[in-house]
Structure 1
């Protein structure tokens, strides 16, 4: 193994940026010289922005463009930005706060002859607002225009300086693409603690440390606000620190310090899972064994072929509904009705939902409430939640059944193992007065998709801050245009929600990353009524209820799986 005391970033090819006051040069640092093909497996390629100080002959527009370049360079070189500010502005300015991200082609509106004098100029920067990177590293997309006015004054040397600058950094899309990486961190489900939950952040690459160090340092911190309030927890006890990370051809060696208990096997397993997924899912150290030391002493080893149970064990069998009866879906088509009453045709049952396969229960909505049946010959339909205006049922991975009582404005949770009726759960205050139309719990048992009205999807989390499960951390995911209507939503995996929209121009199916709002459109041919997904598999029911189709691996075309009389596809949970 090659031991390295400090690993710099692997660099990309040098590029030049044609803008006033900035350029991009390659950044290099110590790296493993014995690695054939070049490349530190613990880092990511990036380029550093190099800004220059304002020049005496620059006009107001050049000053503003140079200032923006200096903000892009600030985390790596904080010395240039102060040269653009007056002493008074510098005394008030701070880099802390959300990062504002704007489109590359921003416009600098020059001062008008009536607005200012030669000694004092007012300039406006206009752009399309792309996103904010919050202080917890979460990436929040935005929309619409953005503008900021700057007052420039001449100093004693005859050059312009900015007299006031709001705190925080202003970056372009290209700045973020160059210096940040979308990163998945993995925490433990705060309720069951048997499942990893992904938290997507934007992390800035640093020339002074490897990307592996950056990831693990952030993993030791609390999750983003989307998963606050006990929605997730961690196996790293307070006080844990990363002392070093080194690597060889076949292994990565992580030396930690802190109050880790070598006798806590459960904590060891979950801690190693958090490390492995946070590194490997970001393509860092992939294929290498991960060895963890505590204060230089052996703690645990994680092999590349370790099991995947930390991400999904809900089952992967596909089902579909035909004339009120639930059927199994085989590889090439129908595989027969499920046993018991759930596999028998009946009217008045709709919006079927399936629990984990290890304890398979089917739920359906009726005109008087929600009924449940076991997928066995002895199973019987039983109404477990009463109500005439309930959302479609959705299962939690702990075996409980959830719905929203639209008439009375609260959540209902029914636990089949509890032996008593449903309990009320207070919804977030932000939902009060809103028309809640759907509720879908993700397979991680933490995130919840909530649709309100006809055209809005919000993401919540099941928190445990008050000693029991509560719905909180409400955040907007997407809103359709006026007149459009959301037809269905379905969890593909813990990160992605499928949203089916009836629009004026036709149907739209988008796969949206709930961590940063990134959306990918799925081509459609037939009009769809509903969708279901599990990982890479996407199923849909045609609008006329005649067939179930499946999205091909090319993500462009669909194949017919079941016809005729195939009303709705189902996967466990989601």
Structure 2
């Protein structure tokens, strides 16, 4: 067995010489050097990276060197596809394809030989074993993957000139984690909610850097394509089919994007949405740097977009914090309690739990009871009214359109109640939830993504998609699963791309913030034992409950410590939506 570590960390320097057997070198790449155009090396519209230069197989290489060189050629394949075929026999070249998901493994991998070797073999079976890191789909979605990867079986044949060629190998590209860190960048793309096109929805991808173009162009080229499978049929775009990029140029104050295609300058709503998609896709990836963005069509000005602090495209539905005291809902001010809300919701009442808030402009609040879910207005004349009946309902959650949602475990159906219509709840198709024990369901503030906790230890992410038959909750994929015996205590959206997951483990509580786009997980330190959470962007509130007290604590901006917010008789922190 041979253990190989090829480029164990991201390369930080230029390798001026290539040692025999390494099969690669790395040079820094910042794009072409046309000042003010798509690839200016030092401009913030670019993301410098290091380009892999692979070597052809050498006559003096053994099996390990050949496998190392082949893997390096895979890492360089997108920039130079001519080297990798040189490692393959004619038979392998005819069968192998680079298409399909990219497999990402740890930098250290093992090469084993199934049978004892005496050095005279002309055909050699080699197995490559490594730890999975992730896969990158054909839609550029990055999916973390745990466990061992042992699907790497290679057949090597000795050549008459010496050295080896690969006769059989797994399909697709195999990259190490360092390859991905070096050549790929995470990027947020913005599309429009298909049912509420005034709201943008973020889509997280991994984009491969290209030495021939700026990162700004790489982002925009990808934005012209379909979203990842996670958001397929849930979002739409303002770019008409046939739109292409002619050029991207800039100076210190302005980015000039010249497009070509059937863009209608008289369609003001499409023009506003297109500006928003470009603005946020550039800003989130740190390539526009606060510049004015001028959009042209065939050289003629189409729109000019300036940074707007009051940007409506990512509206969260309100930022007021609330809490519950003995069944009565209270406002939370900067310094603590600020009084009860008006109407029935502000009155103490037993038996009402799991409160949820709509957008502030809609001013609705819902709560779960022993017989169903009740609803009231946050107004002086507000009165509680049971709108969904059931004894096995999940806690209510509001959609940004004002509708109220829950899952009925007894009947295995997803229910939606529209207060504007006043009619009884309607069923929404969610075939992937059939037969599952749904513990909680929460709709994100973007009105598209939905987190679903099943059983005690699994969180899935789905999306509300539009079909000719109506809304469907689908596009499910697993986000996290805890260890057996651990229990998920609470789950809440902090923003459109991050979910906070509170877990009770054997060793104590764990709070993780997980990016639902690529699974990136950051632990949040805890001091007190929490029983519930609420979050909005950088604000995170937690409910602490002991035998002596119930209080609200807030996570400091340093995200390391918690401070008391409401000292006593306070639980169930709330923000609108989420």
Query: What's the TM-score bracket when you normalise by the shorter of the two chains?
Result: over 0.9
Matched, 1:294 2:331: no
Structure 2 equivalent of residue 279 of structure 1: 282
Structure 2 equivalent of residue 479 of structure 1: 481
Once residues 115 and 132 of structure 1 are traced to their aligned partners in structure 2, the CA distance between those partners, rounded to angstroms, is 37
CA contact (8 A) 1:115 1:122 kept: no
Q: 2:225 aligns with which of 208, 221, 236?
A: 221
Structure 2 equivalent of residue 507 of structure 1: 509
Q: Give 1:109-148 correspondences, 5 Å limit.
A: 109-110=112-113, 112-113=115-116, 118-147=121-150, 148=152
Matched, 1:71 2:106: no
Higher deviation after alignment, 264-273 or 113-122: 113-122
Q: 1:64 to 1:204 in 2, by over 3 A?
A: same
Q: Please list the CA deviations of residues 1-47 of structure 1 after superposition, one character each: whole Å capped at 9, or x if unmatched.
A: xxxxxxxxxx9853579872112122354335589x97122210100
In the alignment, structure 1 segments of 5+ residues that lack a partner are 1-10
Once residues 456 and 38 of structure 1 are traced to their aligned partners in structure 2, the CA distance between those partners, rounded to angstroms, is 45
Once residues 478 and 357 of structure 2 are traced to their aligned partners in structure 1, the CA distance between those partners, rounded to angstroms, is 27
Structure 2 equivalent of residue 14 of structure 1: 14
Q: Alignment length, in residue pairs?
A: 561
Q: Please list the CA deviations of residues 257-283 of structure 1 after superposition, one character each: whole Å capped at 9, or x if unmatched.
A: 111110111111111000000011100
CA contact (8 A) 2:492 2:534 kept: yes
Partner of 2:143: helix, strand, or coil? Answer: strand
Structure 2 equivalent of residue 314 of structure 1: 317
Structure 1 equivalent of residue 498 of structure 2: 496
Q: 1:103 aligns with which of 106, 109, 112?
A: 106
CA contact (8 A) 2:32 2:211 kept: no
Once residues 478 and 38 of structure 1 are traced to their aligned partners in structure 2, the CA distance between those partners, rounded to angstroms, is 39
Once residues 59 and 316 of structure 2 are traced to their aligned partners in structure 1, the CA distance between those partners, rounded to angstroms, is 65
Q: 1:126 to 1:372 in 2, by over 3 A?
A: same
Partner of 2:278: helix, strand, or coil? Answer: helix
Partner of 2:73: helix, strand, or coil? Answer: helix
Structure 2 equivalent of residue 184 of structure 1: 188
Q: How far did residue 165 of structure 1 move?
A: 2.0
Q: How far did residue 113 of structure 1 move?
A: 1.9
Structure 2 equivalent of residue 447 of structure 1: 449
CA contact (8 A) 1:128 1:143 kept: yes
Q: How far did residue 51 of structure 1 move?
A: 0.9
Higher deviation after alignment, 113-122 or 418-427: 113-122
Q: 1:564 aligns with which of 556, 564, 568?
A: 568
Structure 1 equivalent of residue 362 of structure 2: 359
Q: How far did residue 286 of structure 1 move?
A: 1.5
Matched, 1:56 2:59: yes
Structure 2 equivalent of residue 6 of structure 1: none
Structure 2 equivalent of residue 395 of structure 1: 398
Partner of 1:492: helix, strand, or coil? Answer: strand
Once residues 506 and 556 of structure 1 are traced to their aligned partners in structure 2, the CA distance between those partners, rounded to angstroms, is 17
Once residues 29 and 239 of structure 1 are traced to their aligned partners in structure 2, the CA distance between those partners, rounded to angstroms, is 26
Q: Please list the CA deviations of residues 186-213 of structure 1 after superposition, one character each: whole Å capped at 9, or x if unmatched.
A: 0001111111000000000001111111
Structure 2 equivalent of residue 334 of structure 1: 337
Q: How far did residue 469 of structure 1 move?
A: 1.8
CA contact (8 A) 1:137 1:202 kept: yes
Q: How far did residue 107 of structure 1 move?
A: 1.6
Q: Please list the CA deviations of residues 489-532 of structure 1 after superposition, one character each: whole Å capped at 9, or x if unmatched.
A: 00000000000000000000000000000000000010000000
Partner of 1:26: helix, strand, or coil? Answer: strand
Once residues 469 and 112 of structure 1 are traced to their aligned partners in structure 2, the CA distance between those partners, rounded to angstroms, is 56
CA contact (8 A) 2:232 2:465 kept: yes
Q: 1:29 to 1:539 in 2, by over 3 A?
A: closer
Structure 2 equivalent of residue 267 of structure 1: 270
Once residues 103 and 313 of structure 1 are traced to their aligned partners in structure 2, the CA distance between those partners, rounded to angstroms, is 38
Once residues 111 and 22 of structure 1 are traced to their aligned partners in structure 2, the CA distance between those partners, rounded to angstroms, is 28
Structure 2 equivalent of residue 379 of structure 1: 382
Matched, 1:537 2:542: no
Q: 1:38 to 1:504 in 2, by over 3 A?
A: same
Q: How far did residue 123 of structure 1 move?
A: 1.4
Q: 1:122 to 1:419 in 2, by over 3 A?
A: same
Structure 1 runs, 4 residues or longer, greater than 4 Å off: 15-19, 32-35, 114-117
Once residues 386 and 62 of structure 1 are traced to their aligned partners in structure 2, the CA distance between those partners, rounded to angstroms, is 67
Q: 2:26 aligns with which of 10, 24, 46?
A: 24
Q: 1:552 aligns with which of 550, 556, 569?
A: 556
Partner of 1:469: helix, strand, or coil? Answer: strand
Partner of 1:564: helix, strand, or coil? Answer: coil
Matched, 1:206 2:249: no
Once residues 548 and 211 of structure 1 are traced to their aligned partners in structure 2, the CA distance between those partners, rounded to angstroms, is 43
Structure 2 equivalent of residue 175 of structure 1: 179
> Could you state the TM-score of these two structures normalised by the residue count of structure 1?
0.95
RMSD over aligned Cα atoms: 1.8
Q: How far did residue 426 of structure 1 move?
A: 1.7
Partner of 1:106: helix, strand, or coil? Answer: strand
Structure 1 equivalent of residue 411 of structure 2: 408
CA contact (8 A) 1:12 1:46 kept: no
Q: Please list the CA deviations of residues 410-468 of structure 1 after superposition, one character each: whole Å capped at 9, or x if unmatched.
A: 111000001211111121x3221111111000000000000000000000000012342
Partner of 1:359: helix, strand, or coil? Answer: coil
Partner of 2:134: helix, strand, or coil? Answer: strand
Once residues 371 and 36 of structure 2 are traced to their aligned partners in structure 1, the CA distance between those partners, rounded to angstroms, is 70
Q: 1:370 aligns with which of 373, 379, 397?
A: 373
Partner of 1:72: helix, strand, or coil? Answer: helix
Once residues 28 and 314 of structure 1 are traced to their aligned partners in structure 2, the CA distance between those partners, rounded to angstroms, is 40
Once residues 90 and 297 of structure 2 are traced to their aligned partners in structure 1, the CA distance between those partners, rounded to angstroms, is 47
Once residues 288 and 53 of structure 2 are traced to their aligned partners in structure 1, the CA distance between those partners, rounded to angstroms, is 29
Higher deviation after alignment, 443-452 or 294-303: 294-303
Q: How far did residue 295 of structure 1 move?
A: 1.1
Once residues 377 and 307 of structure 1 are traced to their aligned partners in structure 2, the CA distance between those partners, rounded to angstroms, is 30
Q: How far did residue 116 of structure 1 move?
A: 9.2
Q: How far did residue 567 of structure 1 move?
A: 1.4
Q: 2:97 aligns with which of 94, 105, 129?
A: 94
